[in-house]
Chains A and B, each alone.
Chain A
Amino acid sequence: MNQASVLSEKISGTGVFLPYHTQPDWLPRDMADAIVEYAIENESMFQAGRILQHGKLVIDESIRQVSTLTHMGPFQTALKDAAMASKPMLETLFGMPAFSASQVEIEMAAHGDGAHFQRHVDTFVVGHNRPNPRVLTLVLYLHRQPCGFTGGALRFHALGGTTTRDIAPEHNLLTAFPSSAPHSVQRLASPGGAFADRRFAVNMWIRR
């Protein structure tokens, strides 16, 4: 009996993708549009994005050129409720055991010209609150119309292989996946550099 193997050693070639789910028009259209307006109106509240390096949160523009908003104001509760409403379906789709959620973390990220985020998983963060890890990641993509950027795809990376799959960040598109799934954000271009033209993403992490 030898059921376990580290995938990077076992799988060659194309590898295996952890499951993911996409859902267009996740929120009512007027609410999605209103969140974009809220973000633009609150540009001054966004702070430079930080990443975890060697156990500390640091700003490293070479890795992550993004600013974040840590509270969604009047939309916070609606977004949390929508995330929790999707949880049972996502557990089923992903073959994940049902779990009790201790928390839904929410932040909005605004990626500007040249922004990107290297390959990572969402499970390793400061404030890990052991043993309450992030289990499900939900990302709602938003942008104003017409779209002011190109690129910025969410890229999934196969385990044990080099294959990737890209998800275009279309307005009001939800993408959900296990927080353990390796992913990255491809570099985007927004030549004018206006904050309103950024690629907005509401990140929602459901913790066990």
Chain B
Amino acid sequence: MPTDALTTDTLVSWHPEQVTAAVDGQVIVMGLIQGQYVGLDDIGSVLWTLLEQPQTVGHVCDQLAQQYRGDPDIIASDVLAFLEELRAIDLIQALDADRPAS
């Protein structure tokens, strides 16, 4: 599984070892590998939903740019940083590039 830094071309998806639930619209994810609970805010919850199926980071950025106003470059930068955080605690995984994206 790729461990290089994420780019907008990287295919990412939920890590299989997590359990997702929602409380009053706030998504709470428990990572089963590190045993951490993570709460996501509104935008994070939207992003999380997008990752249920494998997506490129660029596609995720495009989806968020359509829903929220903002500089696309800043959105891409923020999304990449956020996804790196999620990957560091094993909530998402980067997939092989030849795996078909949805």
Contacts and interface: CB of A to CB of B under 8 A. Distances in A.
Contact of B20 (A96, A121, A128, A181): A96
A11 B86 CA distance: 19
A95 B16 contact: no
By secondary structure, the A interface counts as loop
Contact of B38 (A6, A17, A19): A6
6 contacts: A5-B39, A95-B27, A128-B32, A133-B19, A178-B21, A179-B19
Interface in A107-161: 121, 123-124, 128, 130-131, 133, 135, 159-160
Given A6-B36, A131-B16, A159 B82 contact: no
Nearest to A8: B37
Contact of A16 (B23, B30, B32): B23
B6 interface: no
Interface string B27-54: 1101010011111110111010000100
Contacts, number: 89
By secondary structure, the B interface counts as mixed
B69 to A, nearest CB: 13
A1 interface: yes
Contacts of A85: none
Interface string A1-27: 111111110110000111100000000
Interface of B: 16-17, 19-23, 25-28, 30, 32, 35-41, 43-45, 47, 52, 75, 78-79, 81-82, 85-86
Contacts of B25: 95
Given A4-B85, A124-B35, A19 B21 contact: yes
Contact of A1 (B20, B27, B43): B43
A97 interface: yes
A18 B28 contact: yes
A19 B19 contact: no
A1 B79 contact: yes
A4 B82 contact: yes
B78 A180 contact: no
A133 B17 CA distance: 7
Contact of A94 (B21, B44, B45, B47): B21
Q: Which of A2, A3, A17, A95 has the most CB of B within 10 A?
A: A3
